[in-house]
Structure 1
Amino acid sequence: MILICGEALVDLVPGEAREGELAPLYPRLGGGPYNVAIALGRLSTPVGMFTRLSGDRFGVRLLERLHEAGVDTTEVQVGPEPTTLAVVELDERGAARYGFHTEGTATPLVEEPGELSPEVEALCFGTLAMVLEPGASVHERVLFRESERGRFTALDPNIRADLIGDPAAYRRRFHDWLPAVDLLKLSVEDAAWLAGSEPATESPELFEALRNWLGRGPAAVVLTRGSDGIAVLTGDGGMVEVEAAEVPVVDTIGAGDTIQAALLCWLRRSGALSDGAVRTLSEEDWRAALSFAAAAAGVTVSRQGAEPPYASEL
């Protein structure tokens, strides 16, 4: 089983606006780690989630949807705090920007789990859960502890810069995580922010930063490039690239999360859910893995909100 560690929240997504009025906001269940868990469940991959939910109506529905997707909720905590909210803005290309309401909500108040089930083969971390305290420190300790015990770990920082009060401190913390990370996946925008190399372009300086991070511990670094596809930098210094799926884009909510889930799904099905196995994947293997992830993301961006595909759709 792959255990997804991080937040579950509600995205408030804009609908069609009448002239002279603000667009109505519609609630959609989401959060980066939550989307990864739902996507893995829909891809028929054994998956569980470690998070804290509210007992309010949003939290109840978030929990129900996990069950509907076949996600194990043994490590889900429920508290009296309200659900974390994200207000979504979409640009003319369907790309999403987020404004978060986190103070006093359930996400940051997650408590440390006990011993994990022996069924847990791998853990995946990222997004707000690695930023908002005191929960960020809880997730960090779990990352270090389970990596030390030999479990496969994946990280998608999924940077939300508006919530990071001290960027330099976060970047230092990110560097500290890398020796405990087996698979690092991030977007071009996230990589540029972490490297301090704005604007977000694929410059030589950016790839120098990626190779530096690769040398600190991960077996591979996967870079998502929006409509330009996906690339992976491998431990032997190589790079494999695939194109994005050619589909009409409704919005990009959940696209990167779908890619992360599809990669983990492919690795598990291929018996490659370990640091050593990832380091021995061939160029052909990586092309197959990235193509599977691109196809899955293509389904997600072709419909509104974070609605990842089922295995039958691929």
Structure 2
Amino acid sequence: MIIVGGEALVDLVPDGDFAEELPPLRPWLGGGPYNIAIALGRLGEPVGMLTRLSTDRFGEKLGERLREAGVDTALVQRGPEPTTLAVVELDENGAARYGFHTEGTATPLLDDPGSLPEGTEAVSFGTLGMVLEPGASVYERVLLRAAERGTFVALDPNIRADLIDDPHAYRRRFLEWLPAVTLLKLSVEDAAWLAGLDSETESEQLFAALRDWLARGPSAVVLTRGADGMAVLTSAGEFAEVEAARVPVVDTIGAGDTIQAALLAWLRRAGALSAAAVSGMGTGSWCEALRYAASAAGVTVSRSGAQPPYASEIADRR
């Protein structure tokens, strides 16, 4: 089983023409880790989620959707605090920006779950779960304990800079996680932010940062580049890149989360959920894994909100 740790929230997404000054907002169930868990379930992988949900109506719907996707909810905690909200702004290309309402909500108030279920093959963390305290410290402890047991650790920082009060402290903490991480996946924008570089930085400076992070522990770093596709660097020196799926883009909500889930699904099916296996993958295998992830993300961006694909939908597009 793959355990996904992090927030579950509600995205309030504009529902109307981009030209409207104030379009109505439609609630979509989401949150980076939540989307990863849903995507893994829809892809047919055994998955459980570690999170805290509100007992309000949004929280009930979040839990209901997890169960519908086949996600194990044994580690889901509940509380009376309201559900975290994210107000989404879309530009003319469907790219999303988020404004978060987190104060006093259920998201950060996670209790340490102790030991993970027997048979946990991998864990995945990121986004608000690794930022909002006190829950961030809980997820960090779970991540480090998993790594100590030799469990595969996936990390997608999915930076939300507006919620990071002290960027320097977060960057130091990120570097401290790396020795425990097996697969690091991040966007160009996140990589630039974490490296303290401008988003328009020359690619060689960015790849120098990726190589530095690789040297600190991960077996591979996957870099997503939006419409320019994605690339991977491995600790063994392998490099591969693939194009993005060519589809009409409605919005990009959940695209990166779908990529993370699809990569984990591909690796699990290939028997590659280990540091040695990931390090040993050649460019041919990596291209296959990345194309699978790109195809999955192509389904997600072709429809509104974070709606990850089912396995059959990816097969239809390959």
TM normalised by structure 2 equals: 0.97
Matched residue, 1:240: 240
Report the Cα offset of residue 22 of structure 1: 1.5
Q: Secondary structure at the match of 1:128?
A: helix
Matched residue, 2:137: 137
Whole-Å separation in 2 of the counterparts to 1:140 and 1:41:
24
Whole-Å separation in 1 of the counterparts to 2:275 and 2:52:
29
Over 3 Å counting, the alpha-carbon distance change for 1:202 and 1:229 in structure 2 is farther
Over 3 Å counting, the alpha-carbon distance change for 1:201 and 1:301 in structure 2 is farther
Q: Secondary structure at the match of 1:222?
A: strand
* Alpha-carbon RMSD: 1.2
Over 3 Å counting, the alpha-carbon distance change for 1:312 and 1:12 in structure 2 is same
Are 1:147 and 1:181, in contact at CA under 8 Å, matched by a contact in 2? Answer: yes
Whole-Å separation in 1 of the counterparts to 2:119 and 2:61:
26
Matched residue, 2:69: 69
Report the Cα offset of residue 203 of structure 1: 2.2
Are 2:90 and 2:97, in contact at CA under 8 Å, matched by a contact in 1? Answer: yes
Residue 32 (structure 2) pairs with residue 32 (structure 1): yes
Matched residue, 2:48: 48
Whole-Å separation in 2 of the counterparts to 1:231 and 1:279:
15
- CA deviations 1:111-152 (Å, max 9, x no partner) are 100211112110000000000000000011111111001111
Residue 164 (structure 2) pairs with residue 164 (structure 1): yes
Are 2:18 and 2:91, in contact at CA under 8 Å, matched by a contact in 1? Answer: no
Over 3 Å counting, the alpha-carbon distance change for 1:282 and 1:74 in structure 2 is same
Whole-Å separation in 1 of the counterparts to 2:298 and 2:242:
13
> Which stretch has the larger CA shift, 197-206 or 235-244?
197-206
Whole-Å separation in 2 of the counterparts to 1:21 and 1:255:
26
Q: Secondary structure at the match of 2:159?
A: coil
Over 3 Å counting, the alpha-carbon distance change for 1:284 and 1:53 in structure 2 is same
Gaps of 5+ in 1: none
Aligned length: 314
Gaps of 5+ in 2: none
Q: Secondary structure at the match of 1:107?
A: coil
TM normalised by structure 1 equals: 0.98
- One-letter amino acid matched to 2:210: L
Are 1:255 and 1:300, in contact at CA under 8 Å, matched by a contact in 2? Answer: yes
Over 3 Å counting, the alpha-carbon distance change for 1:20 and 1:136 in structure 2 is closer
Q: Secondary structure at the match of 2:13?
A: strand
Residue 92 (structure 2) pairs with residue 84 (structure 1): no
Whole-Å separation in 2 of the counterparts to 1:223 and 1:159:
14
Identity %: 73
Whole-Å separation in 2 of the counterparts to 1:200 and 1:143:
32
Whole-Å separation in 2 of the counterparts to 1:306 and 1:129:
18
Whole-Å separation in 2 of the counterparts to 1:105 and 1:72:
23
* Ranges of 4+ aligned residues in structure 1 off by more than 6 Å: none
Are 2:18 and 2:92, in contact at CA under 8 Å, matched by a contact in 1? Answer: no
